[in-house]
Amino acid sequence: MREGAEMREYDVLVVGGGNAGCAAAIAAARTGARVMLVERYGFLGGTATASMVGPWMTFHSGDDRIVGGIAQEIVERLVARGGSPGHIRDASDYVPTITPFDPEMHKALLFEMMRESGVALLLHAWFLDAVMSGERVAGGRFATVGGTREIRAKRTIDATADAYVAASAGVPTQQGDARGRVQPASLMFRLSHVDRDALAQYVRRNPEQMRSSLKAHERTPEALTAVAGLYELWQAARERGDVSVPRELVSLFATPYDDEVTVNMTRVVDVDPLDPDDLTRAEIEARAQVMQLLAFFRRDVPGFANARIAATATQIGVRESRRIAGEYTLTADDVLHARAFPDAVARSAYPIDIHNPSSSGTTTHRPPAGGSYEIPYRCLVPLNVDDLLVAGRCISTTHEALASTRLTPTVMTLGQAAGTAAALSLHAGVGPRELDPERLRARLIADGVDLRRSSVTANVPVTVSSSKGSGERA
């Protein structure tokens, strides 16, 4: 231990208190482990709270709910306290359902769930580097207001979204597409004092301006859960030079409150989220774009004349940064062919949704209608090091597959899988790499994770590298 560093020991250390890390910590504690969760902010929730990314998309494939477990428990508890309407139809027809939520109520709920589960918390702590013992990760070091703190653990979970722990430990990583470019960053904001009835009236009169299957008479304020379009209003503003945001349409969503919407329209391109200078530029550009958009809504969009900014996100939302190389790398082919795996720990039906890294435009490729793909446990198990698991958007995928796996319901399920696996591997006296996937799946199913498809019907075999270095791909 470095001089002056205070050290503590736990069974499981979770680095990163976003939704993936929170689910991991809760799951590990509920499976009997002593857990420490470390977070750099003074609150939990990650992109859902710090970046205010919402609504959550999507818990469903067609009419079937495919995401359960801790993720669904969080939704139900938010609904019970008025912090979410639950799963509602996506009026923009991008996904089957969306799940609006109140970020402030989500922050409070996550603290409550940590307390109930007995998870120890360390907030305002920035990850510095991994503590190594040979080839195993033995914990991490953190910068705090009281100096450096070292936390040792038998298992460590990297839920930093940027693979900070894995990279520090020597795990091979990749970033972006073949040219290293990542998807653009966006700063979310909420507008209040919105007259959604006036907006609905405009949409009913101009149905061609919306991407929606809603009939004209169905376009009521209650049914208008999402707006994608308003093409003429947006194009006119761009042609006048009133806005310069590189987006091709207006995109906003309902919140739990009748006079409020969440706007997802800012876009800062050619950003490297791991470069502090680039990230600084992105924050500044995005807030300038918010002001442009506020003026646009007030001036041009029916129902927004009296709109006010209710909140802007604490930090810009990052869609993509660094990914680990794991025992299996999920591919676009896996997503688009709705592939199943014997060691599956999560399911998703979200499309491959790639925002142009350098300009406007979004490319979408979808799995088969009504289908869903699975994510194998091996995507959470990094090459080269032991006693480390990864959860969240930095699991082992290709650039294209990440464009689907990065969504909140999926990363919460991945977090639950990582936390459960960490605790189960301790109980079994084996490393995470050697954990029996059937035992893990059985516990996840018992805990409400929707893994209904039997491993007998899975169409990809399990191949795990015994050397930890070759990374066998199925």
In a structure prediction context, what are the per-residue pLDDT tens digits for the chain, which is 474 residues long?
A: 454 456 689 999 999 999 999 999 999 999 999 999 999 999 999 999 999 999 999 999 999 999 999 999 999 999 999 999 999 999 999 999 999 999 999 999 999 999 999 999 999 999 999 999 999 999 999 999 999 999 999 999 999 999 999 999 999 999 999 889 999 999 999 999 999 999 999 999 999 999 998 888 888 989 999 999 999 999 999 999 999 999 999 999 999 999 999 999 999 999 999 999 999 999 999 999 999 999 999 999 999 999 999 999 999 999 999 999 999 999 999 999 999 999 999 999 999 999 888 888 888 999 999 999 999 999 999 999 999 999 999 999 999 999 999 999 999 999 999 999 999 999 999 999 999 999 999 999 999 999 965 444 444 444 434 334 433 223
How crowded is residue 250: how many other Cβ atoms within 10 Å of its Cβ? 23
Distance CA 345, CA 454 (A): 12
Contacts of 6 (CB under 8 A, 6+ apart): 146, 147, 148, 149, 150
**Secondary structure, 3-state, 166-225:** HHHHCCCEEECCCCCCCCCEECCEEEECCCHHHHHHHHHHCHHHECCCCCHHHCCCCCCC
pLDDT at residue 359, as a whole number: 81
Residue-by-residue DSSP string for 279-344:
HHHHHHHHHHHHHHHHHHHHHHSTT-TT-EEEEE-SS-B----EEE-BSS-B-HHHHHTT---TTE
| Amino acid at the residue 263 | V
Written as one letter, the residue type at 85 is: P
Alpha carbon distance 149, 234 (integer Å): 50
Rounded distance between C-alpha atoms, residue 108 and residue 236, angstroms: 42
| Residue 8 near residue 36 (C-beta atoms within 8 A) | yes
Q: What's the Cα-to-Cα distance from 378 to each of 29, 190, 424, rounded to whole Å? A: 22, 38, 15
Q: For the chain, what is the largest distance between any 2 Cα atoms, rounded to a whole number of angstroms?
A: 70
Closest CA to 174 of 275, 46, 320: 320
CB distance 214 to 91 below 8 Å:
yes
Distance of CA 103 to the CA centre of its chain: 14
DSSP characters over 389-453: EE-STTSSB-HHHHHHHTSHHHHHHHHHHHHHHHHHHHHHTS-GGGS-HHHHHHHHHHTT----S
Q: How many residues does the chain have?
A: 474
The per-residue pLDDT for 453 is 57
Name the 3-class secondary structure at 121: strand
Cα dihedral 53→125→418→167 (10° resolution): 100
CA 2 to chain centre: 34
Q: Record the tokens describing residue 237, joined without a space.
A: 């503003």
Domains defined for the chain, CATH in brackets: 6-90+99-180+320-457 (3.50.50.60), 189-312 (no CATH)
Dihedral sign computed on CA atoms, order 105, 224, 301, 358: positive
* 418 vs 350: CA distance, rounded Å: 21
Cis peptide before 55 (omega within 30 of 0): yes
Q: How many helices (H) and strands (E) does the chain have?
A: 11, 22
Which 3-state string (H, E, C) describes 344-402? EEEEECCCEEEECCCCCCEEEECCCCCCCEEEEHHHHCECCCECEEECCCCCCECHHHH
Judge whether 444 and 437 are in contact, CB under 8 Å.
Answer: no
pLDDT score recorded for residue 458? 47
CA atoms within 13 A on the CB side of 198: 14
Measure the CA–CA gap between 24 and 364, rounded to whole angstroms.
30
Q: Are 343 and 441 in contact (CB under 8 A)?
A: yes
Angle between helices 437-446 and 408-428 (to 10 degrees): 120
- Asked whether 390 and 324 are in contact (CB, 8 A), the reply is yes
- Confirm whether pTM is higher than 0.85: yes
